[in-house]
Structure 1
């Protein structure tokens, strides 16, 4: 099928997709053939063993930790785009979300704005950042560039370098400055590398590099690796981005991949065809266009290396940036539905860009990518929100709750999944625009497997699928469930086949494993999560064990098949002579999105626990931290229940049992905050949006265009932060671009898209009068804004208005729970 359908064809496909549930289909997958053994020894890793003997490794299929399969989850967080005072708490939030490796660019022009004048202090203190990663038990990958892209001016290369020499190749003058940069980075990382017992396990060299020619190509990447080693940066893993025809020296570095659910860098002003990101891949690793700034003219090294390297991810979009000409807003399902697809396609490192939003610092100029400075895209000067799971001010976005259960699954069972190979179903979609054929993949090893299902494609309705599976494994075929199960539009799932529950075989489940909790003498608890709209069926081969359950069930072919109602009560308990009991807890989809898992209690009775809360929750210093936006009543439920009441500055009251969980609640003194917007200047007619730049599409208005902006004075009460953890200034405007000023300092900015703009007062640190400028949005502006947010212009040629300005309190409580009475 062609890569792009015509608009009438897409409309027909969407109409067909809405015609209702397909007739029941049996999806056959032959996973019986043994997979080839992993191949190792051909990848040139750096020193991979710590002083205490812990070792990292890699083969052509997966990573290893101490000789065992290891599947990390990596999240991008740019330290130099975030206040240093918040790093520890923000890293702790990432850890609670299931992130195990933190990746960060070292953005050159943030550190050396002038030749030889390096700045590694404050918000640029790389050493402290990686040390905090180590303190919290997180590993780190440092992306050292020198060109990083990252929507930064000149891709992060300082102006004085760009103006004075040839970049991104083996030019001797350029390499002298790169070598000095690397020595500076090496000095910052000294003592924090894996070989020193530190958290830094990897370096990424360059970014999106597909240049070829004299002094370029694979030879340049080899040169950068040599310079990194000379600077003391000896780490287990060296990576490069593998998409868009990447060029690198095979064996010396390992490619990483990614995918985004829309293309803000595209030039289309309408919805895009269905993205490859939602389609399982059985013979490739690159998920469509990832926005490389340079173009290649043929396959890259990653294509020829596909059998030599593991399938690792680094840039699966946990959100999307807003670019001037295209401003797609994504839903939590748009992002989370990528997980079954990527894992089912063979990914063995789930890496996100970005996981935490931020804001650009300002140097001698603003440091964003722009057409004016020769960039392919126009991006906000300050704001780098990225619709990330954690916002620039540490706020939790709904998507984070949707991702967490998948991260916990990887943490708990990634050692089972990583060695499994991808198996293709008998029938697969004809292409990414085929919205009717079920989207299914299987990964298996021996007699065990996981089935991956996706029935979500952003902006395109999918027909409900009535499915059964025939998975042929080494020990025989497993057909499940008993009757075809309906997978509704928008649903996606990971289901186990022949899954070991500490000695009892779970033949299959139409619910996803999430975690295994060791409760000591109280037994083992396995946590599962239902998929939205999909009934839960479990098939247990209990053997001589006793199964205690209130669920209805039948016995067939040696298995007890149970129809389970998800919730907070135990679905069943398995008791076997001489063994600890095994409990199964199957949460609803909504409950699984409120689930946070971590250790509470520290050195005094510390224990790994399940916490359910609709508010932001994370663990730091052995304590539970709760953060609530605009709601003074904070609630959580915990399992196993503590033996004494929680301790906090604000007392928590026990609210009884919620299934196996103990619920607690505290109400803080309510705070009412005020903010007002007073008009200062009305908008003037805005100039027509120009087209041009490298993309030959709409470009951001030139600075002089701001003469036409409307302006307001923003007043916030002076003691707003007195009784709260933070206060979020929420600016609801309709226009083209909004800019928030602290006096004459540009403090924050935003492209209008319908996605809410927030600025935390702590980070804002305003010292003078706040004001807001809104550049009018013209009715004829050739930019993409989601149809849900595009204003009705009527007879007006433009719009620039403030709908509402509000100040929202952020409450925070730290809770201490101990297991001892």
Structure 2
């Protein structure tokens, strides 16, 4: 299946012959369903023993414990470990709010904060590094330590990150031969890295700090004198000489990356669309919705340079664990391509990659941000500055789980159950081997066969299914059962055939040990494990409407609190239908101890939060956004002050910043007073003119964003946000419904934010602009031409006229964010 990946990546850059995405969609829609023969997998081959003597990495032991790396997985204090890592750039977010954003990431199940330290964000003038304010990287690291979050640093020197020159300052680009062992360049890198180390001294893992990893360069595939493996080796040696001694050194492993094997470990990634592609058309089905059995490398992740040979990562599979660093938590909106991500687009791809063997789930981005200015200059990547892409000057929302202004986006609810699963059961998953089913798709373009995998160790494991592909219909698979051949004998599950609907994506357990009770299988996804004074609680989430089947090994069960039947294999089969409130099932083991299962339906799983609150790990179900602090839980909600939430294990006597009452269903309710949403009056200050035709050119030979002078054609609307917009609120958001090409928000001549229109309402948080409230603001909208050679998803394209152009603001709403603080 994986032999097609590199060919697919080449197509996307070179636009080789593809009949058309529309043709493929029509073909798939009319194709008959494949016959539903039994699906099977042989999982009897043992996993290879892990080894680590060939890896030359840094010091893994410190006051916080021991971190290790072997050929198959990461370890923490000697135990297998699958962390969740999320990218968040300190320099792209106001320092005043770093702490609560780190807590939001932790509440979403993230264990490691990854951060690019973009050189040109910190060196604003030649030879002067600025570590103050939003650039105070030491304070950022210390906040991670304070809240038990590890930190993985990515200091380039070339980072990309949609930054000008990949983050290398203009004067370094002008004066040296970058991205190689040119002595002048390496001297500049050493100066930058020594300055950084001066800020982070004493914060390495071995010192009791949070810094557990260091990425060397990024997307590096250059070969030649002073380049290739030689350059990566020189950079790592420089980092070690300076003092960056970390348990893990990595390089990105895609796009024909080369590196000195054994000195660094490759990390992988994948995105659900390719906004850096040149084509203005819908792309073929994305490979990240297909399971990987022979390669870990995605075909195209947007490297700015072209490798001239096979990369090293695929040849290093037997020596290195499958680690991820850049699985898309969303996607950037670039000028020529503006794809929109639905939550299932992201969660289905992540489920598939975990099911392909990923043993470190790393996201880029997990938290959006805003590009800083450098003495009035913008620092974004543009084609006219030699980059491959045009991105907004300021906006870097990335459609991420946490947005540019810290708002929790719907994709968070789709991903959190996966993170909590890895937090609770990752030690078991890490040691598994990936097994390929007997029948698999021909390649990632083949949508007809069922897509699934098994990760197993001995007689236990997890079964992964994905029947979702972004923008393409997948067939219903009717009457499915899985035949799993294990060392101890075959298992066929579930007890009766089930239908797998288009869009389904899930994980099922196989022979899961639940504190002495063996769950032979469940048509539900394990989510987390809790405990109280009555014993352990395992939380499972239904993966389809209707009854969930739970099959228990009768040899481990004395009694069940729900009716069950016996199958021919001696298993106790229970069918439980989720209800409006979570269902609790008690299982008494043969040892007399009780294990409880809390069963959620699909909607409840998307409202679930898991974290440490008041000295205990708890599950909270709520429509509100939430994060945990040591002495409180903070719930936030846009537009409504009516809060409803449930907590397991229950809070004995919850108190709140507003009175908390118990509802009829045992849940908790509170009403926080505050302003209601309102619409702001607008004044047309400048009528839109005629937008010039979009130029084609640049390194991508594709649509280029308008020149600055072209914005004279933009329409302008004036409005004022009341000075009291934040009164009684944790924040307030402007929700701007507009149509056009490029939008800019200005206070006088100061640009506060900008965006390329993609069909969404533009949401802007106001608390960071508190000192500017009450000023007359202006929003400009560059007209979008109907003939623009720009890719938009169909949902956006339908909002545009068939001919001519459009530049309009339909409305600007002011929506307060209400906050409830819960204490015990």
TM-score class, shorter-chain normalisation, is over 0.9
| Residue correspondence of structure 1 range 540-619 to structure 2 within 5 A | 540-543=552-555, 545-551=557-563, 553-567=565-579, 568-576=581-589, 578-601=591-614, 606-619=615-628
- Is contact 1:72-1:101 (8 Å) kept? yes
Give the match for residue 813 of structure 1. 820
SS in 1 for 2:745: strand
Q: Could you list the per-position Cα deviations for residues 776-797 of structure 1 after superposition, in whole angstroms to 9, with x for gaps in the alignment?
A: 1111111111121125665752
| In structure 2, C-alpha distance between the alignment counterparts of 1:790 and 1:544, rounded to whole Å | 57
Q: Could you list the per-position Cα deviations for residues 391-413 of structure 1 after superposition, in whole angstroms to 9, with x for gaps in the alignment?
A: 11111100000100000000100
Give the match for residue 224 of structure 1. 235
In the alignment, structure 1 residue 439 sits paired with structure 2 residue 446: no
Give the one of 381, 402, 406 matched to 1:390.
Answer: 402
CA RMSD of aligned residues (A): 1.7
In the alignment, structure 1 residue 512 sits paired with structure 2 residue 525: yes
Give the match for residue 650 of structure 1. 658
Q: Could you list the per-position Cα deviations for residues 305-361 of structure 1 after superposition, in whole angstroms to 9, with x for gaps in the alignment?
A: 121111000000010000000000010000000122111111100000000000001
Give the match for residue 635 of structure 2. 626
SS in 2 for 1:56: strand
Give the match for residue 788 of structure 1. 795
Give the match for residue 14 of structure 2. none
SS in 2 for 1:556: coil
In the alignment, structure 1 residue 288 sits paired with structure 2 residue 299: yes
Give the match for residue 317 of structure 1. 328
| In structure 2, C-alpha distance between the alignment counterparts of 1:357 and 1:310, rounded to whole Å | 28
- Is contact 1:325-1:783 (8 Å) kept? yes
| Residue correspondence of structure 1 range 93-132 to structure 2 within 5 A | 93-132=104-143
In the alignment, structure 1 residue 140 sits paired with structure 2 residue 148: no
**118 and 216 in structure 1: CA distance in 2 versus 1, 3 angstrom threshold:** same
SS in 1 for 2:795: coil
- Is contact 2:289-2:352 (8 Å) kept? yes
* Residue segments in structure 2 that go unaligned for 5+ positions in a row: 12-16
Q: Could you list the per-position Cα deviations for residues 165-196 of structure 1 after superposition, in whole angstroms to 9, with x for gaps in the alignment?
A: 11111111111110011111111111111000
| In structure 1, C-alpha distance between the alignment counterparts of 2:508 and 2:32, rounded to whole Å | 24
In the alignment, structure 1 residue 243 sits paired with structure 2 residue 254: yes
Give the match for residue 415 of structure 2. 403
**785 and 547 in structure 1: CA distance in 2 versus 1, 3 angstrom threshold:** same
Per-residue deviation, 1:15: 4.7
**535 and 284 in structure 1: CA distance in 2 versus 1, 3 angstrom threshold:** farther
- Is contact 2:641-2:818 (8 Å) kept? yes
| Residue correspondence of structure 1 range 523-542 to structure 2 within 5 A | 523-533=535-545, 535-542=547-554
In the alignment, structure 1 residue 711 sits paired with structure 2 residue 716: yes
Give the match for residue 372 of structure 2. 361
Per-residue deviation, 1:11: 3.4
Give the match for residue 205 of structure 1. 216
- Is contact 1:487-1:534 (8 Å) kept? no
In the alignment, structure 1 residue 725 sits paired with structure 2 residue 735: no
**74 and 792 in structure 1: CA distance in 2 versus 1, 3 angstrom threshold:** closer
Per-residue deviation, 1:763: 1.8
Q: Could you list the per-position Cα deviations for residues 629-668 of structure 1 after superposition, in whole angstroms to 9, with x for gaps in the alignment?
A: 0011111111122222x2112111111335xxx4333342
| In structure 1, C-alpha distance between the alignment counterparts of 2:430 and 2:221, rounded to whole Å | 29
| In structure 2, C-alpha distance between the alignment counterparts of 1:587 and 1:793, rounded to whole Å | 41
- Is contact 2:735-2:814 (8 Å) kept? yes
| In structure 2, C-alpha distance between the alignment counterparts of 1:813 and 1:151, rounded to whole Å | 37
**118 and 301 in structure 1: CA distance in 2 versus 1, 3 angstrom threshold:** same
Give the match for residue 668 of structure 1. 673
Q: Could you list the per-position Cα deviations for residues 360-393 of structure 1 after superposition, in whole angstroms to 9, with x for gaps in the alignment?
A: 0111310100012111000000000000000111
Q: Could you list the per-position Cα deviations for residues 457-481 of structure 1 after superposition, in whole angstroms to 9, with x for gaps in the alignment?
A: 0001111112111111110001001
SS in 1 for 2:177: coil
In the alignment, structure 1 residue 79 sits paired with structure 2 residue 117: no
Give the match for residue 701 of structure 1. 706
Q: Could you list the per-position Cα deviations for residues 206-225 of structure 1 after superposition, in whole angstroms to 9, with x for gaps in the alignment?
A: 11010111111111111111
- Is contact 1:243-1:286 (8 Å) kept? yes
| Residue correspondence of structure 1 range 332-351 to structure 2 within 5 A | 332-351=343-362
Give the match for residue 363 of structure 2. 352
- Is contact 1:600-1:816 (8 Å) kept? no
User: Which sits farther off after the overlay, 452-461 or 339-348?
Assistant: 339-348
Q: Could you list the per-position Cα deviations for residues 224-255 of structure 1 after superposition, in whole angstroms to 9, with x for gaps in the alignment?
A: 11111122111110111010010111110111
- Is contact 1:554-1:562 (8 Å) kept? no
- Is contact 2:674-2:818 (8 Å) kept? no
Per-residue deviation, 1:20: 7.6
SS in 2 for 1:489: coil
- Is contact 1:14-1:462 (8 Å) kept? no
User: Which sits farther off after the overlay, 257-266 or 429-438?
Assistant: 429-438
Give the one of 748, 753, 757 matched to 1:752.
Answer: 757
**795 and 7 in structure 1: CA distance in 2 versus 1, 3 angstrom threshold:** closer
- Is contact 2:759-2:799 (8 Å) kept? no
**301 and 577 in structure 1: CA distance in 2 versus 1, 3 angstrom threshold:** closer
| In structure 1, C-alpha distance between the alignment counterparts of 2:582 and 2:224, rounded to whole Å | 64
Q: Could you list the per-position Cα deviations for residues 551-578 of structure 1 after superposition, in whole angstroms to 9, with x for gaps in the alignment?
A: 5544432101111212444442112365
Give the one of 769, 774, 780 matched to 2:776.
Answer: 769
| Residue correspondence of structure 1 range 140-219 to structure 2 within 5 A | 140-219=151-230
| In structure 2, C-alpha distance between the alignment counterparts of 1:730 and 1:545, rounded to whole Å | 54
- Is contact 2:658-2:670 (8 Å) kept? no
Give the match for residue 494 of structure 1. 507
- Is contact 2:676-2:815 (8 Å) kept? no
- What number of residue pairs does the alignment pair up? 807
| In structure 2, C-alpha distance between the alignment counterparts of 1:420 and 1:789, rounded to whole Å | 42
User: Which sits farther off after the overlay, 456-465 or 565-574?
Assistant: 565-574
| In structure 2, C-alpha distance between the alignment counterparts of 1:89 and 1:14, rounded to whole Å | 47
Give the match for residue 486 of structure 2. 473
| Residue correspondence of structure 1 range 12-23 to structure 2 within 5 A | 14-17=26-29, 23=35
- Is contact 1:653-1:666 (8 Å) kept? no
**268 and 198 in structure 1: CA distance in 2 versus 1, 3 angstrom threshold:** same
TM-score, with normalisation over the residues of structure 2? 0.95
Give the one of 490, 495, 499 matched to 1:482.
Answer: 495
Per-residue deviation, 1:535: 4.6
- Is contact 2:338-2:793 (8 Å) kept? yes
